[in-house]
């Protein structure tokens, strides 16, 4: 709230990268922070020459490595609706932004679930 930012935008990607690299304790975060400070101090003039397309490619590669086919199959087995919500979210996040994509998917999910629960005929005991 202090600077009107979204506090956890990149943490998931960094955490997943750390885990895949073999990090086992929170100390990995401290070492990453120190490494980034050292790189920013000594290599800033060179790092600004790296094209944004290259940085974008790295981000796409990291994001694609976070996708697990087994989890997609698991969601697909939950039902068509859940699978379509997953696909909707996967499309909307890059087209809009993280918050809009996820929030709109949640709204659609709960609205549809609420509507179907309202429509279902209630069972009566005889």
Q: List pLDDT tens digits, range 75-118.
A: 999 999 999 999 999 999 989 988 999 999 999 999 999 988 87
Whether 116 maps to a domain, the answer reads yes
Residue with tokens 């697990």: 68
41 and 85 assigned to the same domain: no
Same domain, yes or no, for 11 and 42? yes
Whether 14 is covered by a domain: the verdict is yes
Asked if pLDDT for residue 7 goes beyond 60, the answer is no
**Res 35 pLDDT > 90:** no
HSE, side-chain direction, 13 A CA sphere, residue 38: 6
Q: What is the dihedral of CA 113, 117, 118, 120, to 10 degrees?
A: 130
- Does any domain span residue 109? yes
Residue 77 shares a structural domain with residue 117: yes
Residue 84 lies in a domain: yes
Within this chain, do residues 84 and 116 fall inside the same structural domain, yes or no? Answer: yes
pLDDT digits (tens, 9 = 90+) for 40-52: 889 888 888 999 9
CA–CA separation, 93 vs 97, rounded Å? 5
Question: Which residue segment(s) compose the domain that 87 sits in?
Answer: 67-121
- Long-range CB contacts for residues 30-35, cutoff 8 Å, separation at least 24: none
Query: Are 2 and 46 part of one and the same domain?
Result: yes
User: Can you give the pLDDT at residue 8?
Assistant: 46
Same domain, yes or no, for 8 and 41?
Answer: yes
Please indicate, yes or no, whether residues 71 and 42 belong to a single structural domain of this protein: no
Do residue 30 and residue 76 come from a single domain? no
In a domain, 85, yes or no: yes
Number of domains in the chain: 2
pTM of the model: 0.56
> Does 58 map to a domain?
no
Q: Check residue 24 and give its pLDDT.
A: 80
């Amino acid at each position: 709230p202090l600077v009107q930012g979204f506090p956890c935008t990149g943490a998931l990607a960094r955490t997943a990268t750390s885990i895949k690299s073999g990090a086992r304790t929170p100390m990995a975060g401290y070492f990453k922070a120190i490494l980034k400070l050292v790189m920013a101090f000594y290599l800033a003039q060179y790092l600004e020459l790296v094209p944004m397309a290259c940085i974008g490619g790295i981000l796409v590669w990291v994001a694609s490595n976070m996708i697990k086919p087994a989890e997609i199959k698991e969601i697909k087995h939950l039902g068509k609706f859940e699978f379509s919500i997953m696909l909707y979210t996967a499309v909307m996040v890059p087209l809009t932004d993280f918050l809009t994509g996820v929030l709109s998917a949640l709204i659609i999910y709960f609205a549809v679930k609420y509507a179907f629960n309202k429509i279902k005929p209630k069972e009566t005991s005889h």
